[in-house]
Structures are given as structure tokens and as C-alpha cells.
Structure 1
Amino acid sequence: MNLKKLFDMQRVLDQRILEKHPELKGQNNLDWKVLALQVELGECANEHRGFKKWSNNQEPRIRALKAPAMMEEDKEYYNPLLEEYVDCLHFILSIGIELGITDIEMWGLQAPDATRCFLKCFENINSLYFVFCVDGQVTQDLYERLFGNFIMLGKSIGFTEEQIESAYFEKNAINHQRQEQGY
């Protein structure tokens, strides 16, 4: 995974958002980015469905129709779980940029079960935010732990680094289009 490229692309998108919303310039934007990441991670868990032990349908949502189509050959599908996952990645990258931590190490990780990975990511997000609130800064190690556990989550739900990177590129382009359209 080309982390430099991902951070560079996210930096461009973040700058574009700041230009569209100048009230965000020069202020701490970590609060809303952390909350957005928590919401997106919850949406990702919801698409994964593995924690829904009360349900007979615990299969991940990996194929959904983009829009209604009259003819079978005109139908387009997408992967809702992967889309929610890369929404999280956008905010994780953006948080790293906000903190000034973009030159990070990736480590090889073994992925435990997805539920534990989701819980670990939530724990990492909360720890990062707590440390920031108490100390006013976050260590690179703490951010790398969040990033590494998030990548481990992706592996635990069946994504390769190539799939993640490709989906990030696609969603980043959509996010730029949304800024053009006044989303």
C-alpha cells in the first residue's frame, strides 16, 4: 500500500474542503473528524453484520445495487462493506494530517476475528482522542497503532491492501465530485 500517495491524495481533498468551508481554517478540526470516524466505523460494522448474533442474517453486505435498472445488463453493483471501510480510511488519513503524522510505519499483522478488530479500532480512536484532550498532542506510536489495527480490521473482513487502495482511489474521486456539486 502506497501510504505516501494516500496521504497526498487526502491532503488535496482536505485542502479542497477547507477552501469550500473557510470557517474550518485555523481551528482544531480533530473533534469532528474523530466523531466522523467513529460514525463511519459503526456504519462499517453494521455492513459487516458479524456482531448481530440475534439475527439469522450475519453475512457481510458485499454486493448491492447502485441504482435501479430496467435491464439486467444495465445493473451496476458495489461493495457496501468496502465503501464504508474506505470512508473510515479517509478520516484516519485526515486525522493523521491534522496531527502532522503522515510518515508512518506499516507492520505485518495477523488479523483476529472481525468483532475484536472493530472493538480495538474503537479503543484506539478513543485513546487517541483522550490523549489529545489531556496532553494536547498525540504520539506517532498511538496513531500508528490505530492505523495498523485498522488495516488488520480490513484483512479480518477479507480485503487485500490492493482492494483497499483501489477503493480509496475511487471514493476519493467521488468525494472530489461531491465538493464540486456542493454536497
Structure 2
Amino acid sequence: MNLAKLFEMQRQLDEHIEKEHPRELGEDRLAKKILALMVELGELANEARFFKYWSNDQEARTNVKCTKCGGFGYWFLGTVRFHCSSCDGKGFINRVLEEFADGFHFLLSIGNDINMNEVYENEEPKPLYCEDIIEQFIVVNDWVNSLYYRRHEDVNGEMYDLVFAYFLGLGEMLGFTWEEIEEAYLRKNAVNHQRQESGY
């Protein structure tokens, strides 16, 4: 995974968002990004479904029919056939991976805000793991909470390192390779730029 490239792509997306949605005076956008990461972690768990002991349906949403193309992998405008960019022509979407990529966007954005992007230019963080996936989700959330409370302190880089490492470990525990994570990030990054262009 080329983290320097991904941090730069995220910086460009954040600049695009800033242009369309300028910061308000006194706004703590870093706090909003941290909350957004928490929300994405919740959405990720919801799509993974493994914790839903009350349901007979605990199957992860890894093969969901694409709503944009109806599962065909393409769509028509008149007689012209277009490749579906939402599912990359596959007809199905891995919703778990999509939600992970959404969280990764905010993780990279936070890293840019606190200048951790420079730390990862020369070395890749090593994933950290807990004993099971439930604990992994809770630990990631716990470190994200800690990052929020210490976001204006010198230790925020250390907190970020732990969030990043446990987040990557979570991705691996969910069965994603770094290549899949990067591809999902790139797809969603393009969508996010399009959303800014269309007044999202």
C-alpha cells in the first residue's frame, strides 16, 4: 500500500471539500472528522453483522447486488452501454469493504490534519491485533475516543499511531488485503470528488 500517495489523495479531496464547504469561524473540524470515523466504524460493524446475536442473519454484507446497475455491471443511457463504476463492473458490492474504505478516508484526513502523513512516508505501520474481532472493534473505538480527548496535545501522534495500527489490524481480521483496501479507497475517493462536484 502506497500510504504517501493515499495521504496526498486525501489531502486533495479535503481541499476540494474545503472549497465547497469552507470552515466556519471557530469550527473544530478535527473533532468532526474523529466523530465521522466513529460513525463509519459503527456502519462497518453493522455491515459485518457478526455481533448480531439476536438475528438469524449474521452474514456479512460482502456480496450485495449493486443498486446503481441492478447487478448487471453496466447500465444504459439510451443505446449507449456504460461500465458501472459503483461495482467496478462486477454487479455486486462488498459493503463491508466499502464501509472500511469510508473509515479509511477519515483516518487519512485526520492524519493529514495532525501531520502524521509525513511519519508514514518512509515506513508502513504494522497492524495490531486483539484476540477476537469484537475486542478489535472496541479497542479501535477506544483509541479513537482517546484521540478525540487528546487531539490538541503533543501525544496525539502516538494516539494516531495506535488508531492506525488497530484499524489496519481490523481490516486484516475482516479478511481484506492491503491491495483490496487501497482499491476500495481509490474507488470511493473518486466518488467523493464527484459528490463535491454535484453539490452533495
Q: TM-score, normalised by structure 1?
A: 0.89
| Greater share of helix | 1
1:15-54 to 2 correspondences below 5 Å: 15-24=15-24, 27-54=27-54
Query: Number of aligned pairs?
Result: 181
Q: TM-score, normalised by structure 2?
A: 0.82
Query: Which of 164, 169, 178 lines up with 1:152 in the alignment?
Result: 169
Q: Does structure 1 residue 128 correspond to structure 2 residue 143?
A: no
Distance of aligned partners of 1:48 and 1:138 in 2 relative to their CA distance in 1, 3 Å threshold: same
Q: Deviations over 1:125-162 (max 9, x none)?
A: 00111112xx5444322111100000000011110111
Cα distance in structure 2, aligned partners of 1:117 and 1:12: 30
Identity, in percent, stands at 45
Residue type of the partner of 2:12? V
Please, which runs of 5 or more residues in structure 2 have no aligned partner?
A: 75-89
Structure 2 counterpart of 1:9:
9
Please, which runs of 5 or more residues in structure 1 have no aligned partner?
A: none
- SS of residue matched to 1:22: coil
**TM-superposed deviation, 1:77:** 1.1
Residue type of the partner of 1:179? Q
Residue type of the partner of 1:127? S
The 8 Å contact of residues 111 and 156 in structure 1, kept in 2 or not, is answered as no
**TM-superposed deviation, 1:21:** 1.2
1:62-141 to 2 correspondences below 5 Å: 62-67=62-67, 76-102=91-117, 103-104=119-120, 105-110=124-129, 112-132=131-151, 136-141=153-158
Q: Does structure 1 residue 61 correspond to structure 2 residue 61?
A: yes
